[in-house]
Amino acid sequence: MSRQYTCVMTEEARDEVDRLVAAWRTERPDLDVEPLQVLSRVSRLAKHLDRARRAAFAEHDLEPWEFDVLTALRRAGKPYELSPGTLLRATLVTSGTMTNRIDRLAQAGLVRRRPDPEDRRGVLVSLTDTGLSRVDAAFADLLRREHELLSGLGAADQRTLASLLRTLLAPFDSPG
């Protein structure tokens, strides 16, 4: 039974990366192409995720950068408000880029600025009701699409994959 399952899975589970790796093994047997087994799949999956993200955002009339700023505010919790400096650190952009993004989001009625009561020179950026409802709807739609992308894996496999990816990513995310 398990032998038949293994054969069936091997045939069904072949993908473009398997063909790519096989071709490189033939053409360059002198090279260890094993990293392609993982990283080419991660890269291909990232492209599918990017398409799903863009579709979810477009359905809610948002650009990916708008979603990033709005979700940073949403994750902050009530009153959904952050300083521009905190926003730029959360979204990994320059201060000039963040100023432009806040301007555009404010013009669209998705965020508002107000003076920071703790710092007379500073401002705080907060979600408007429209921004809150738009980001909540887009996020729910994104999660639905992400669940679809992961539907080929059971819950235990998803947890295992998340743990393995965390191990790979942690050194890149650590400060310094």
Residue 31 lies in a domain: no
Residue 25 lies in a domain: no
Give the CATH number for residue 78.
1.10.10.10
Q: What is the pTM of this model?
A: 0.81
The rounded distance, in Å, linking the Cα atoms of 111 and 126 is 5
Per-residue pLDDT of the chain (176 residues; tens, 9 = 90+): 333 333 334 555 689 999 999 999 999 999 999 999 999 999 999 999 999 999 999 999 999 999 999 999 999 999 999 999 999 888 889 889 999 999 999 999 999 999 999 888 899 999 999 999 999 999 999 999 999 999 999 999 999 999 999 999 999 887 66
Question: Which of helix, strand or coil describes residue 28?
Answer: coil
Q: What is the 3-state secondary structure (H, E, C) of 34-50?
A: HHHHHHHHHHHHHHHHH
Question: Which of helix, strand or coil describes residue 116?
Answer: strand
Query: Any idea which residue has 């926003």 for tokens?
Result: 87
Query: Any idea which residue has 């096989």 for tokens?
Result: 22
Residue 33 lies in a domain: no
Q: Nearest CA to 149 among 77, 71, 45?
A: 45
Residue 75 lies in a domain: yes
Q: How much is the pLDDT for 174? A: 76
Instruction: Give the number of domains in the chain.
Output: 1
Adjacency order of strands within the sheet including 119-127 = 81-82, 119-127, 111-116
Residue 15 lies in a domain: no
Looking from the CA of 90 toward its CB, the CA atoms found within 13 Å total 20
Q: How much is the pLDDT for 111? A: 98
Residue 158 lies in a domain: no
Q: How much is the pLDDT for 176? A: 61
Residue 32 lies in a domain: no
Q: How much is the pLDDT for 13? A: 65
Which residue stretches of 15-154 are H helix? 16-27, 34-59, 64-75, 84-91, 95-107, 129-149
Torsion from C-alpha of 27, 31, 35, 40, nearest 10 degrees: -30
Domain extent at residue 120? 50-149
Residue 5 lies in a domain: no
Q: How much is the pLDDT for 11? A: 53
